[in-house]
A and B are shown apart, each in its own frame.
Chain A
Amino acid sequence: MDTFYTDLLCVGAGLAGERVAVAAASQGFETICLSIVPPRRSHSSAAQGGMQASLGHCCMGEGDCPDVHFADTVKGSDWGCDQEVARMFAETAPIAVREMAFWGIPWNRVVAGKGTYYKGGKEYEKIEKKEKEGLITARDFGGTAKWRTCYTSDGTGHTLLFTMDNEVVRLGVTVHDRVEAIALIHDGETCMGVVARCLKTGKLRNYLAKATLIATGGYGRIYRETTNAVINDGSGAIIALDTGIVPIGNPEAVQFHPTGIVPTNILVTEGCRGDGGTLKDVNGERFMHIYEPGKQELASRDVVSRWMTHHIRLGKGVPSPYGPHLWLDIRHLGEKHIKTKLREVEEICNEFLGVDPITQMIPVRPAQHYSMGGVRTNKDGAAYGLKGLFSAGEAACWDMHGFNRLGGNSLAETIVAGKIVGEKIAEFLQGYEVDFKTAVVKDAVKKQEERIDRIIKGADGKENVYEVRNAMQDQLMDYVGIFRNGEDLKKAVDNLQVIYERSQKVGLRSYSLGANPELALALKIRGMVRMALCVAYAALQRTESRGAHAREDYPERNDRDWLKRTLATWKEGDSLPTLEYEKPSKVWEIPPGERGYGVAKIICTEDPEVCGEKKPETN
């Protein structure tokens, strides 16, 4: 069997994985990245809208600074985030954006003079200053006090990822694409690398590393309707969970994006609304201004998604063979704007819907979009529980997003966390030696070989892996969605436990040598159902509403009892995760208060550590 040795192993070559790799490699550490797909195809490439950084160059961003960005992020998180991390993030984001410019991003720039923009369907005028001309500009995104989202047309993730991979090429970092990590190698204390499967040949390999990073992106594909790419099935979170030691932070914090297109759930960017697009109902009328007079279409995502669902429940949805939907209207932005600033949107609508957004409205509905939860790390990106294991990007719960991530804050997180965590890993590697214990490595490989063998032979049963997956996705979609309640969540947990049994009895329907796509999924399905159970069970336990976690039976945000982060681990042999809790933050620069949008019923905490001496002024 092939064994590869390296200082740093990045499992994942999206923006986060590659940014970490660049940081370590530029300090001379040997680095290998693994990726299921060629790195430039990682899901980061699909991000359209942009990344937040408080440069404050454009006139609508004037006066912006890390303090304001920090405050927006904390409010967006519904006070679920780690404020120390959010602070570090907001301070570093402007540098990270400029560094990406230095590496070659063609950021859109400030054009001096008069211009128009739209808000709530109405046209306004703005004047950009001469002295700012040519600096990086920004667009408006939900939940922000200023225009702060830096962009390249609506292909921001694409340009970021291509530029990052250019750096990877420049530094000569090794990337093994079409290699999937299927288990961590560890002895209960130290992580030593991974067992991986080559998706070209089907053969197993060992990667032995002093430091291992999980940067595998989100796990949206445990839901049926998601904007995520088909490989976003959480395999990074799964291998962490499989250790029985490393916890998943806040698995129940799942974001739905307001504008997935119907029927395929492909995303059209928040930039549509940021640039002035409006949401309309079956009567062709706007409705967000009724529910959210202040931020209207640009309240945070959790809030907009809930009002859309609420409006559809009132019977105001547009009937279609795929269920009711609403309209996104960007026609008034005009052909020129759409053809330059919303190109991908135009292409997606034309090619996948046969809708021309210049003259027609776009059918949309909220779809699963982002996993705030993930491998729990400290502020340096070191995973809880195992020495030498790190995580960054969407796969991690570094926790600057808490219970709701702001649009544009995720691309920014990948770059910023990648930079910070990468530097911390380089520090960690300095003089660090690890004993790759032969017995541990052998044992880890043997376990995987036996598992594969049993699945191929159908030794544990003949369950069809696709049917098991579909059953799991339906449970989450139907019972652990935008609005949640105890009864539904209980149903989901019960049903998922039955599905979990089935997932352990999956057997292949046909045997083929090589990559074998059915086997690739079969190896993950048990872990996917475990993740689904973490989401559903943690959601059932959390008897409050916070950010994206909205309980109909517990509508208030309960800071008294629930100002805490869920930590889910999975003990071998159990049929449910073990849940523990910790305080979300050690630092409370901004004590819990109202967000300024969304319904704010708050049960206050009196913990002096959290709110200082004075009580928050809300109740």
Chain B
Amino acid sequence: MGRPLKFNIFRYNPEDPASVPHMESFHLEETDAMTLYIALNRIREEQDPTLMFDFMCRAGICGSCAMMINGRPDLACHTKTKALPAEINLMPLPVFKLIGDLSVDTGTWFRNMNERVRSYIHTDKVFDPNADEERMSNELADEIYELERCIECGCCVAACGKANMVPNFMGATAFNRVARFMMDPRDQRKTDDYFEIVATDDGIFGCLGLLGCEDVCPKDIPLQDQLGMLRRKMGWASVRHLFDKILPGGDAKKK
């Protein structure tokens, strides 16, 4: 016999005028190697088919299933019940718009983020189908990949005090994305181009530096390093901008 588990799950369906936010409890007996993916699907299929939540890859790869698990944002699919107490509280991620129950709209948020940081290689070169690719050291490729591993799950955003207070705050995932392109020699943007994107109070200058984000990232992205790097670079750039203003004839844009 497995442990009796009690799941307290947030319920609210914004599409239903009669629905009010509340917690609802479900009971299951724990089975071998049970994850929250298995548990939630069993609850839906056996107890309440209206329960809303998101899973896709069920392998910790796609970033669909982030939720607040006993108060901490994490991927539900890779969370084993064995690692949790017998009473498990599940809430939707804060910051993101609620779709219903445990399901939130990360798609709109991340598309917006990608547009804001202009998450693509900026280059004036034209692709030549007949030429060899530009060379790159394998080491650098590995370093870029390290930052490219973000799965846009939203855990870092949910854990961020600033993002919870300021809806327009960019969040660690955006800073990480900027850092990824800064490191990529194929991207011709200069520090000042990035400055425009992130050097604001909604950007890196608004970051409190408490690193709630890094602790919860399920992909162990080194967010702390990226945030530090951005803060330094953007700090220097802003000093330079200040000088440019004071000293006549200065023009940071041309650097």
Contact = CB atoms under 8 A, between A and B. Distances in A.
A231 B60 contact: no
Main secondary structure of the interface of B (DSSP, over half): loop
A512 B16 contact: yes
B99 to A, nearest CB: 5
A283 B115 CA distance: 55
Given A45-B61, A516-B50, A98 B129 contact: yes
A37 B15 contact: no
Contact of A159 (B51, B100, B145): B145
Contacts of A133: 135
Given A202-B15, A514-B15, A41 B62 contact: yes
B102 to A, nearest CB: 11
Contacts of B106: 38
A135 B59 CA distance: 31
B141 A103 contact: no
B133 A102 contact: yes
Interface stretch (B146-154, B198-206, B243-251): B146-154
Interface in A429-453: none
Interface residues of B, number: 64
B57 A514 contact: no
Interface string B148-171: 110110000000000000000000
A391 B190 CA distance: 40
A286 interface: no
Contacts of A263: 33
A337 B148 CA distance: 19
Looking at B45, B61, B127, B186, the one whose CB has the most chain A CB atoms below 10 A away is B61
Chain A interface size band reads 35 or more
Interface string B105-116: 111101100110
A137 B138 CA distance: 9
Contact of A200 (B105, B111, B115, B140): B105
Interface string B87-130: 00000000000011001011110110011001111000101010
Interface in A89-121: 95, 98-99, 101-104, 106-111
A115 B22 CA distance: 60
Contacts of B55: 230
Contacts of B99: 178, 200, 514-515
Interface of B: 13-16, 32-33, 35, 44-45, 48-52, 54-64, 78, 99-100, 103, 105-108, 110-111, 114-115, 118-121, 125, 127, 129, 131-138, 140-142, 144-145, 148-149, 151-152, 184, 186-187
5 contacts: A45-B62, A101-B134, A166-B119, A230-B57, A518-B50
Interface of A: 37-43, 45-46, 95, 98-99, 101-104, 106-111, 133-137, 152-153, 155, 158-159, 162, 165-167, 169-170, 175, 177-178, 200-202, 229-231, 263-264, 266-267, 321, 340, 344, 347-348, 351-353, 466, 508-510, 512-518
